[in-house]
Amino acid sequence: MNFFAIGVFTSFLIYLIVGNYAGKLVKNAEDYYVVGRQAPTVLIVGTLVASYLSTVAFMGEVGFVYDGYAIPLLILIALNACGYVIGAVFFGRYLRRSKAMTVTEYFGDRFNSPQLRIVAACITIVGIGAYLVAVTQGASLLMSELIGVNYGWSLVIIWVVYTSFTFYSGSRGVIITDTIMFFIFTVMTFIAVPFLIKASGGWPDAFKTMAVFAEKPDSYAWHGLTGPNNYMGTPTDVLVWGIVLGLVWAAVVAVSPWQSSRYLMAKNEHTTIRSSMVASTTIFALYLILMMTIPLINLLNPNIVPSENAFIWLAMNELPTWLGILVVTGIFAAALSSCSTFLSLVGFSVSRDLIQRSEKLRDKISDDKSLMISRIVMLVVGVVTLIITYFQPPAVMWIGYFAATLFAASMGPITFISIFSKRVTAAGAIWGMLAGFIVVAATEAMSTFGGIAFPVYFRPPILGATASILAIYIASALTKVTPEEKAYREKLFIVPPEEKDPQEIRRTMLFPKILIFGGIALFIIAYVLFFWPISQAV
């Protein structure tokens, strides 16, 4: 067994030990689902970033940038990162006040509608289940290449690792292991980048050479790759793609269950606001540093196939062995963190929102029995995921992006409207979710299987979100807001007394300044390290 495999399996052992320890701390359902609502800022930041970054980022998006589309992806990320702050301020803090255990439970309680809760749970299961398949595929492909076993056995190994601690420890194990994994891949990124620059010719020569690299022209242009190998269309097409997907992903990180549910675990609302700002800055910093340097791999090897293996090839062929091990371990960490988060959320939706959704049923069973049911359901969900992933052909980046559009269109509009509209009704919420989901699913199927090309200004997520908003307002206009819906919404705007602590408020007000300072610092770094040498060459 090579050193890379030893390093990766050692990290697996650490996650299993930590997850087992966290599982022993789980005493009741609130511990299992939302960590007793006591998670500090560092754990919320760790799980927000770790559950976002996965093989979609370190394999799918890295391959996309290696192919020649660095700036379009950064346009996407710049818009995307804003979603953290928007989501926390305009939804996350109200979500926490609801005291729900899951995001779908919030929707059911907000509109006093068991039917809406079931609809939201089913959308969550399908969407997050698809994303779970994508990140599991990425991790399994990486494992297959690393230790030389076939894809099937690699899939089983990966599945056993993340399922074993997720089903036992629930959110408590997920949030702790997520944070450990977050530190691993963050450190890995910032250590590996200088070595890549040096191996490619050093700063600033490497960037100057890549800026005029004949085999992949315009890799650093605002529209990305030009020439016969361009597969993203005209410059306008690429720009619209970056903006549309950036807005879609902003909605995803703002309201999707795998991101917004983290705020249910926060110690208080101040933690929610602070962690969103730190996560926003961290995401953009990681992408800026990594994605602007990934094209340099072309100077070392312009023919990596598939391009999703670019970062892995670098780790195993050009970096010092110790650093290569760290990089590969970091990529696995990003994959496993997302896998555990997605599995937990799918399991929670099946267990609490479908099987145990009735208050009368939950009142009849003890906490111990409720935990047992949740763990059994989580294990069954894991087995089903394993079977689906084995038979689904790998498509790491594009399955992940498809799942994102489902949430942006189906849950994005109603999430914010449920907070700030007095007129929306349960019928509007149900039909809005269904319309967004159905339109995106249908148009994506038409595009993928029917060969229908939608205009860049009317891509599936735009059509889905438009359909969702129209359905919300039409159905709400035909029905009336009930007293229960009105009372619940008004309750969300009552600030809990513990949130009014002057000292906590002063601390929270420091974080916007940190966000602004971080933005200015990143702009300076980007200009000096990247854009200046690139502009000199061009």
Which three-class secondary structure string do you get for 220-250?
CCCCCCCCCCCCCCCHHHHHHHHHHHHHHHH
* Interval 516-535: pLDDT, tens: 998 899 999 999 999 999 99
Mean pLDDT check: name the lowest of 60-74, 323-337, 385-399, 425-439: 385-399
Mean pLDDT check: name the lowest of 289-298, 306-315, 337-346, 442-451: 442-451
Q: Which of 449, 436, 445 minimizes the C-alpha distance to 406? A: 436
Q: Residue 226: which pLDDT band, with cuts at 50, 70 and 90?
A: very high
Q: Residue 19: which pLDDT band, with cuts at 50, 70 and 90?
A: confident
Query: Which amino acid, residue 358?
Result: S
Listed in sequence order, the residues at least 6 apart from 408 whose beta carbon sits closer than 8 Å to its beta carbon are 247, 248, 249, 251, 252, 256, 461, 464, 465
Beta carbons of 247 and 78 less than 8 angstroms apart: no
Listed in sequence order, the residues at least 6 apart from 524 whose beta carbon sits closer than 8 Å to its beta carbon are none
Looking at residue 363, what is its pLDDT? 58
Q: Residue 266: which pLDDT band, with cuts at 50, 70 and 90?
A: very high
Percent share of the chain, pLDDT over 70: 95
Beta carbons of 285 and 518 less than 8 angstroms apart: yes
Looking at residue 399, what is its pLDDT? 67
Looking at residue 190, what is its pLDDT? 92
Question: Nearest 10 degrees: CA dihedral of 359, 363, 368, 369?
Answer: -70
Looking at residue 168, what is its pLDDT? 83
Q: Residue 93: which pLDDT band, with cuts at 50, 70 and 90?
A: very high
- Per the prediction, the chain carries an average pLDDT of 88
What is the C-alpha separation between 44 and 96, in angstroms, rounded? 13
Looking at residue 111, what is its pLDDT? 96
Q: Which of 349, 273, 344, 330 minimizes the C-alpha distance to 117? A: 349
Tally Cβ neighbours within 10 Å of residue 420.
12
What is the C-alpha separation between 240 and 201, in angstroms, rounded? 34
Backbone torsions φ then ψ of 479, nearest 5 degrees: -130, 175
pLDDT score of 395 more than 60: no
Confidence (pTM): 0.91
**How much is the average pLDDT of 491-508?**
93
pLDDT score of 1 more than 60: no
* Interval 131-147: pLDDT, tens: 888 788 878 888 887 77
Looking at residue 138, what is its pLDDT? 78
Q: Which of 113, 96, 94, 258 minimizes the C-alpha distance to 171? A: 258
Q: Residue 396: which pLDDT band, with cuts at 50, 70 and 90?
A: low
What is the C-alpha separation between 230 and 237, in angstroms, rounded? 12
- Buried/exposed code over 457-472 (b: 16+ C-beta within 10 A; e: otherwise): eebbbbbbbbbbbebb
Beta carbons of 427 and 414 less than 8 angstroms apart: no
What is the C-alpha separation between 122 and 135, in angstroms, rounded? 20
For residue 535, CA distances in Å to 207, 242, 519 come to 9, 22, 21
For residue 511 the two structure tokens come to: 């974080």
CA dihedral (233, 138, 22, 167) positive or negative: positive
Looking at residue 367, what is its pLDDT? 59
Give the single-character DSSP code of 68.
Answer: T
What is the C-alpha separation between 274 and 88, in angstroms, rounded? 9
pLDDT score of 514 more than 90: no
**How much is the average pLDDT of 333-341?**
86
